[in-house]
Chains A and B, each alone.
Chain A
């Protein structure tokens, strides 16, 4: 028996999968090492193969084959969920994604759909080195025809899985390795800790956080996925140390980019700081900066600032890794350095 406590994200995702398997018989799970007793590298699939051995398929270590088989199943009307053991390995399936999965609907004149869900844990902080720690979701943002969703620790993770499976088009659900072990902190009476939290009513909701009841603030920190706790820690530190209030927007849907909550918040703050774990150049922050200045120039009182990983490979050594990936202090510094040349 387990003791009742705040549920961890890994367990919330696991329960979400179990619910889906109970509710739908067209859902299949494919991936490497996902069978019990191992239950996947991060235990998200634990228990599923025991209950549904015919629908949980462990596969050889070949992502091109894995993507190809899953795409074929989706084309034939199944709802396959693909677990990519480490998000880095998505690179191996890129031809299937770019020249197949993303395009079948258009290439076959709208006659087919690809209701495929790809789950991929990204992110570092665990010392896994250059090829097991990256945040490669920005590569997917250049592929029209797919939906990219980022899970974070404050979302209803089971609902996210349910919506992704119900989606008739391919969805890439970006998970985060550090998130798995953290508590799934859902808002209680509109609050998470001292922060007020609002959730948008879109299919893949964004979360907005404020420390002063969504009154005027200094900046909007836009982030997603595993960087949310970093953004929230920075927002709290800025309040406690300097009484600088910011809003944090945790995006749910990265592609097509759900900019609306950012624009809503920007109207109250006048400045944007983007925060992502991937490398800086041509990242999510670059896209947000371009879109915000095009769509809300009047609201923008200061240049957009980007906080991201350095443009380099990720070291395995803990101290080196920490210095390369963005942290709380980087966000705090970025907010403190905001000057408002446009009043």
Chain B
């Protein structure tokens, strides 16, 4: 329909006021009398048969009445203004008591938007526990578990300035000292260094603050130069020929750095240079990490061999239109970066996501995705929900694999039941130990007669662990002592299959496998 006379325009009886188009014809509608035309439908609108499209008002009272009609019409949402949020988003918002109107964005509101808001609110309530954005230069730590060392007070491990100057002016004299003596010297001059820390033959750490947990190992030829602080959590292992240079480096506990890892690059002394790596992270051989902007890596992240994390590009002039980017990189908890992957400045890889080998990441990868390619694109989901039957099948497979491995290692092994998945007996140092698998472990469990260790792998432990047994809870990933060589070996076997137990960190000192 189309209006031929305007809203609130005086009209006379018989005057054409609008054009109604029906199939194959257009009809002019004439005013039924003199008065003021008031539109009740918009031009171009489809109107229902028999509905009122206008009023010709003759008195002020009638005009007021029309205003009322219009207001009630306006109160009804028009089809174009509703239904922007997806069904999943609406359900999720209801579940978490979120008002969708608080999400302002162009386009559709999806479940992901609501989840982000929920996560943001949860992060807000956890704020007291987080180190706060001051340390991290405003980088969001959503879904990133940070190492404990970030919460240390700012004087922890501060070196005596004179000693620091001597390290800087004559590093070779310091390097010439025996390794154990170097550790003692650091301690005496203010560094916080735990027990059993081993510094390789030519290791030199130059930093105003040094905090190393128990059992940190830095391999031969390692050099660490941090302009402000260097912290490494207990049992972290830096292999031979590490080069680490940054302004501030906070490495978590139980981390593993392969050989020839290079951390640094031209911008390593930049005021914003920062490296934060969570507990139990893995950095593979020959990886290159360039932290001239914050690089924040979560817990149990795998950065595998020859990966490259770069926080800036090699720029031509900004003023000639070239991109000249400096931006942080965040790898959220438990994500995996495959062999030879390059992660470009400004990218964030979501928790539990996997980036396939040789991919080039130029944009954010959401959590829980498998991404691959140059440039990396999401190709599917990285996490699967296993049925109980499938999970059982996999666990039984692990038991069979453990059996086979121990045989290959030359140990005396026997299956102790008809079903080999139920358990095995292994003889070591003249004593027989048992490794058992039970879907559920409760008070009804009777340990076998044994002169060695008894170890039980289980999905679910009900109540306290049975006396004298080592228990590995495979789902909640809890570990219960007492320890022994066989238990350590089984724990290591699980670790190599991605099952790391708490409490940790923990290091395998050798045993059956």
Contact = CB atoms under 8 A, between A and B. Distances in A.
Given A6-B44, A126-B23, A239 B108 contact: yes
Given A194-B108, A243-B88, A243-B111, A1 B23 contact: no
A343 to B, nearest CB: 8
Interface string A49-81: 000000000000000000000000000000000
Given A239-B86, A240-B108, A3 B3 contact: yes
A3 B39 CA distance: 10
Interface stretch (B4-12, B158-166, B194-202, B335-343): B4-12
B87 A241 contact: yes
A36 to B, nearest CB: 13
B21 A181 contact: yes
Nearest to A86: B24
Contact of A240 (B7, B39, B83, B106): B83
B2 interface: yes
Which size class do A's interface residues fall under?
20 to 34
A1 B108 contact: no
Nearest to A182: B44
A213 B105 CA distance: 12
Interface in B7-32: 7, 9, 21, 23-24, 26
B202 to A, nearest CB: 49
A95 B411 CA distance: 90
B80 A240 contact: no
Contacts, number: 66
A193 interface: yes
A126 B24 CA distance: 9
A195 interface: yes
B96 interface: no
Given A1-B3, A1-B4, A195-B107, 20 more contacts: A3-B7, A5-B42, A5-B44, A8-B2, A8-B44, A43-B21, A43-B26, A127-B23, A183-B44, A191-B106, A193-B80, A194-B107, A196-B107, A212-B107, A216-B377, A239-B110, A240-B85, A240-B87, A243-B86, A243-B111
Interface of A: 1-3, 5-8, 41-43, 126-128, 181, 183, 191, 193-196, 211-213, 216, 239-243, 343
7 closest Cβ pairs, A-B complex: A5-B43, A3-B3, A126-B23, A240-B86, A243-B86, A8-B44, A194-B107
Given A43-B26, A126-B23, A2 B86 contact: no
B378 interface: yes
A2 B21 contact: no
B84 interface: yes
12 contacts: A1-B9, A2-B3, A3-B39, A5-B44, A6-B44, A8-B44, A42-B24, A195-B107, A211-B108, A240-B85, A242-B87, A243-B110
A126 B25 CA distance: 12
Contact of A241 (B7, B42, B43, B86): B86
A126 B379 CA distance: 44
A172 to B, nearest CB: 22
A41 B24 contact: yes
A59 B3 CA distance: 31
Contacts of A2: 2-4, 43
B107 A1 contact: no
Chain B binding surface SS class: loop
Given A41-B24, A194-B107, A3 B87 contact: no
A42 B25 CA distance: 8
A275 B2 CA distance: 31
B53 to A, nearest CB: 12
Given A195-B107, A243-B110, A1 B5 contact: yes
Nearest to A6: B44
Nearest to A210: B107
A246 to B, nearest CB: 12
B356 to A, nearest CB: 12
A43 B83 CA distance: 35
Contacts of B85: 240
A273 B377 CA distance: 22
Interface in B35-85: 39, 42-44, 46, 80, 83-85
Nearest to A127: B23
Interface in B279-306: none
Contacts of B80: 193
Nearest to A1: B6
Contacts of B83: 240
Contact of A128 (B23, B107, B111): B23
Contacts of B110: 239, 243
Nearest to A180: B21
A88 to B, nearest CB: 14
Nearest to B84: A194
A1 B5 CA distance: 6
B8 to A, nearest CB: 11
A181 B42 CA distance: 13
B456 to A, nearest CB: 40
**Among A43, A211, A239, A343: residue with most chain B CB under 10 A:** A239
Contacts of B2: 2, 8
Contacts of B107: 191, 194-196, 211-213
A290 to B, nearest CB: 27
A6 B1 CA distance: 12
A7 B42 CA distance: 11
Contacts of B111: 243
Contacts of A191: 106-107
A126 B21 CA distance: 13
